Homo-oligomer: A and B are copies of this chain.
Amino acid sequence: MNQKRIRDYGIFIGDMKTGIKNSIADVKGVKVGHFTLNDQDIKTGVTAIIPHEKNVFENKLVAGSYIINGFGKTTGLIQLSELGQLETPIVLTNTLSVGTAYEAVARYMLKRNVDIGKKAGTVNPIVCECNDGYLNDIRGLHIKQEHVLKALECASEEFHEGAFGAGTGMSCFGLKGGIGTASRIIEINDERYTLGTLVLANFGERSRLTIKGKQIGSLIKQMHNDDEQVDKGSVIIIIATDLPLSNRQLNRVCKRASVGLSRVGSYYGNGSGDIVIGFSTANTINHYEKEASTNIRILNENKIDSAFKGTAECVEESVLNALICAEETIGRNEHKRMSLREFMNLI
C-alpha cells in the first residue's frame, strides 16, 4: 500500500522477525477490508477481518478473548468464550453503529448458509467498536448495512493503515489514530509459525504516548495543550495465528496484548473499552461434525512464551503503525487531530 510505516522511520519494536508483510495478513487466509465515510462531519467507517478462506460458519476456528477494560460494547464474546469458537468474520465500526453492523453480519451469514435459523441453530456475529465521536457525527448513525457488506466483500491481503475503514475517525493519544497492523514469526523448535495483530487504536492520553521507551507525549502536550479530552477511547485488538492454540491458550495470548498497550503509554483508562480477540487457523471445527471426538493439534504449553512475546511486540508496533499512517484530520465541529508524523523529530 506504499504507506510509510514506523519501521520506515528507523523505529524497530522488539527483537523478533516480522512476517513478509509485517501484517495480520501474513497469517495465511486472513484478509482485511475497509469501507470509509470521510466527508466533513462524517468521519467513520467499517473494517472487516475475514479469518480464513473457507466458509467460517461450517469450518469454525478456535478462538479466545480477553477484556482488558470492559467499557465497551463488542458483541459475541459470551458465546465465543463458552464454546471457544469463531464462526463469522469480525467487523469493526463506531460504537453507535454496532446494531447496524450486527444485522448486516447476520444477513451476510444467512445468505451464505441456508441452514442458519432452520436446521443449524443461529449465528454469533462478532462486532467490535470504538467511539469516534470526537471527529465524527456519531449521533448521525451514518453507517448502513451495505457499508458493512462492502467492507466484507473487498477484504484483501493488502489494506491501508491509519485513517481508513473503522479507523477513519479514531483518535489515539490525542493524535489521529486508526487501523494498524504488524506480525511476528514464532519459531518453536525448527518450526515456523506466524502471529499477527490488527488494532483499531482510539485510546490514550496525549501526554503519555511512549515510543520505544521515550515518552514523547509529554513533549507533544507541551506544544499542544489545547483540546485533549479525558481518555474515553477504546482499542480493539485482533490476533490471528497459525499456531495450534486451544481456546485457553488463546485467552492467555490475548492477555499479553496489554503488555504492548502498556509500552506505548496506556494504563487502560476507565472510559476505554480495551478488547482483545484471538483466533487460530491451525484447527477447524466442522459445524456438522458427527464423530464422537476428533484429533486436534495443540501447542506444548512449555513453548508458549514466544507467542506471548510476539503478541506484545505486534500490539506495540500495530499501535505505532496506526498513528504514523494516519493523516491529520479535521472533523465534526472543526475538531482536529494532528498526525504523529509532525512529531517524529522529537524522537
In angstroms, Cα B215 to Cα A304, docked, is 23
**Is A77 at the interface (CB under 8 A from chain B)?**
yes
**Is A23 at the interface (CB under 8 A from chain B)?**
no
The interface-forming segment of A51-59, A158-166, A242-250, A338-346 is: A242-250
Q: Are B79 and A71 in contact (CB under 8 A)?
A: yes
Q: How large is the interface on A (under 10, 10 to 19, 20 to 34, 35 or more residues)?
A: 35 or more
Using a CB-CB cutoff of 8 Å, which residues 125-151 of chain A contact chain B? 125, 131, 133, 138-139, 141
Contacts A117-B133, A267-B309, A285-B301 supplied; 6 other A-B pairs, CB < 8 Å: A67-B78, A73-B78, A75-B75, A85-B301, A188-B292, A268-B308
Q: Closest CB-CB distance, A125 to chain B, in whole Å?
A: 7
In angstroms, Cα B299 to Cα A285, docked, is 11
Q: Closest CB-CB distance, A130 to chain B, in whole Å?
A: 10
Q: Are A82 and B102 in contact (CB under 8 A)?
A: no
Specify which chain B residues have a CB less than 8 angstroms from the CB of A210 in the assembled complex.
213
Which of B99, B230, B291 touches A189 (beta carbons < 8 Å)? B291
Q: Are A117 and B99 in contact (CB under 8 A)?
A: no
**Is A191 at the interface (CB under 8 A from chain B)?**
yes
**Is A76 at the interface (CB under 8 A from chain B)?**
yes
Using a CB-CB cutoff of 8 Å, which residues 290-334 of chain A contact chain B? 290-305, 308-309, 312
In angstroms, Cα B212 to Cα A107, docked, is 42
Contact bitstring A37-70, B, C-beta under 8 A = 1, else 0: 0000000000000000000000000000001111
Specify which chain B residues have a CB less than 8 angstroms from the CB of A285 in the assembled complex.
301
Specify which chain B residues have a CB less than 8 angstroms from the CB of A100 in the assembled complex.
99, 103
Q: Are B76 and A73 in contact (CB under 8 A)?
A: yes
**Closest residue of B by beta carbon distance from A258:** B258
Which of B70, B78, B191 touches A70 (beta carbons < 8 Å)? B78
In angstroms, Cα B123 to Cα A71, docked, is 10
Q: Can you list 13 A-B contacts with CB-CB less than 8 angstroms, sorted by A residue number?
A: A71-B79, A73-B122, A95-B122, A96-B106, A96-B123, A98-B99, A107-B141, A246-B248, A259-B262, A259-B266, A292-B300, A294-B300, A295-B296
In angstroms, Cα B16 to Cα A12, docked, is 30
Contact bitstring A264-277, B, C-beta under 8 A = 1, else 0: 00111111010100
**Is A219 at the interface (CB under 8 A from chain B)?**
no
Given contacts A141-B103, A268-B259, contact A247 B248 (CB under 8 A): yes
Specify which chain B residues have a CB less than 8 angstroms from the CB of A263 in the assembled complex.
262-263
Q: Closest CB-CB distance, A9 to chain B, in whole Å?
A: 17
In angstroms, Cα B116 to Cα A131, docked, is 11
Closest 6 CB pairs of A and B: A213-B213, A70-B82, A99-B102, A99-B103, A262-B262, A95-B122
